[in-house]
């Protein structure tokens, strides 16, 4: 089968042929139809991600497809459509994955939607509800609001009853955030983002997937008792947070690594995903897929992701046989 493999540290990954073994006990074999891309994929290529596997490995952290075989002890039936948080192995025509990582998809969900769903929506839901305790009537600022996780934070923030201020680069991206439900939008490259947020009344929660100066500016606009969610550093730099402000204003700083809950408290992820899939089935969530690419264009897709040219999630569509 074809797979996009990182053969050695420092090398560019390549689309190549690799064998497909039979599934081990506790594993199911999935014919992969779609794989969502994440900034973590870029970090893995550079060897900078906290959970980078030892090479050689196949890239692709989340996927969707159909079960085509099952190892001993598995209960998922052949033909079941599943979303899989794999951590690796998604950019391939097929793969073997622990059954515990596979979730049956809602009937109305496409493979592309499922591949774009788990990490982005899961991150925002656990961050906003479990970690920050975002309450109805509070004000949420979302940095990188037109990106893959940012748009889900806008949606879920509104679902939880918050007033959402979306920060994104340029009018086109701000318009996408408004379409997702944002009450107010700001240009994230404003000369004085802190003052712009304060002019709108300040905020109770900051959802920061960008980092850098924007993260610091939004942090400084938090109200007393506010919560700052550290999601990622898509800008390439970490924010220089004034911790004396956290002390004086009783601000809580929460780091959120969604995949880390597999070890920390897996029931949080299970319950969150069940609720999110239920919201989707009821028509309450609308995954935004910015673009889809065939396997042959994986390098182009990764470069679009790296350059932040995209909105929403980027998905690789794979012509797997099922």
Q: Residue 67 in 3-state DSSP? A: strand
Among candidate residues 85, 154, 161, 104, the one with its CA nearest the CA of residue 124: 154
Q: Is the Cα dihedral 71, 75, 81, 84 positive or negative? A: negative
pLDDT tens, the chain, 322 aa long: 999 999 988 789 999 999 999 999 999 999 999 999 999 999 999 988 888 999 999 999 999 999 999 999 999 999 999 999 999 999 999 999 999 999 999 999 999 999 999 999 999 999 999 999 999 999 999 999 999 899 999 999 999 999 999 999 999 999 999 999 999 999 998 889 999 999 999 999 999 999 999 999 999 999 999 999 999 998 889 999 999 999 999 999 999 999 899 889 999 998 999 999 999 999 989 899 999 999 999 999 999 999 888 888 999 999 744 4
The pLDDT of residue 308 is: 84
In the sheet with 2-6, reading across from the earlier edge strand, the strands are 14-17, 2-6, 57-58
DSSP 8-state secondary structure symbol assigned to residue 181: T
The pLDDT of residue 322 is: 45
| Secondary structure in 3-state letters for 97-131 | EEHHHEEECCCCCCHHHHHCCHHHHHHHHHHHHHH
> Which tokens belong to 286?
């609308």
CATH code linked to domain 125-259: 3.40.50.720
> Which tokens belong to 267?
């029931």
Q: Residue ranges of the domains in the chain?
A: 2-117+287-317, 125-259
> Which tokens belong to 168?
């994104």
> Which tokens belong to 214?
């924007």
The pLDDT of residue 321 is: 47
Beta-strand pair 139-143/203-208? parallel
Q: How far is CA 302 from the centre of its chain?
A: 15
Tell me, which fold does domain 2-117+287-317 have in CATH? Quinone Oxidoreductase; Chain A, domain 1 (3.90.180)
The pLDDT of residue 120 is: 95
Write out the H or E segment, with its range, that includes residue 150: helix 148-159
> Which tokens belong to 197?
């947020």
* Helix-helix angle 266-281:118-125, to 10 degrees: 110
Whole-structure pTM over 0.75, yes or no?
yes
Going by C-beta distance under 8 Å and a sequence separation of 6 or more, which residues neighbour residue 177?
142, 145, 146, 150, 151, 154, 166, 168, 185
């Amino acid at each position: 089968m074809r797979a996009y493999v990182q053969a050695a540290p420092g090398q560019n990954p390549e689309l190549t042929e690799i064998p497909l073994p039979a599934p081990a006990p506790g594993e199911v074999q999935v014919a992969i139809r779609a794989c969502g891309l994440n900034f973590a994929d870029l970090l893995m290529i550079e060897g900078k991600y906290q959970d980078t596997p030892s090479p050689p490995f196949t890239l692709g952290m989340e996927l969707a497809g159909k079960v085509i075989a099952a190892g001993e002890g598995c209960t998922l039936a052949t033909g079941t459509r599943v979303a899989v948080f794999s951590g690796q192995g998604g950019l391939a025509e097929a793969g073997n994955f622990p059954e515990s990582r596979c979730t049956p998809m809602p009937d109305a969900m496409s493979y592309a939607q499922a591949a774009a769903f788990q990490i982005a929506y899961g991150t925002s839901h656990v961050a906003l509800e479990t970690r920050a305790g975002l309450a109805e009537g509070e004000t949420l600022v979302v940095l990188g609001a037109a990106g893959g996780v940012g748009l889900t934070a806008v949606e879920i923030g509104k679902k939880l009853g918050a007033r959402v201020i979306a920060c994104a680069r340029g009018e086109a991206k701000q318009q996408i955030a408004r379409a997702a439900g944002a009450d107010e939008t700001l240009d994230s490259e404003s000369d004085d983002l802190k003052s712009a947020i304060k002019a709108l009344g300040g905020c109770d929660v900051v959802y920061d997937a960008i980092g850098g100066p924007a993260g610091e500016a939004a942090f400084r606009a938090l109200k007393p008792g506010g919560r700052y969610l550290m999601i990622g550093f898509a800008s390439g730099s970490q924010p220089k947070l004034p911790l004396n402000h956290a002390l004086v204003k009783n601000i809580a700083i929460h780091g959120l690594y969604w995949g880390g809950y597999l070890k920390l408290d897996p029931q949080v992820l299970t319950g969150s995903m069940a609720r999110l899939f239920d919201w989707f089935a009821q028509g309450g969530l609308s995954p935004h897929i910015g673009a889809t690419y065939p396997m042959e264009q994986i390098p182009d897709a990764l470069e679009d992701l790296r350059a932040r040219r995209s909105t929403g999630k980027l998905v690789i569509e794979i012509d797997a046989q099922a």
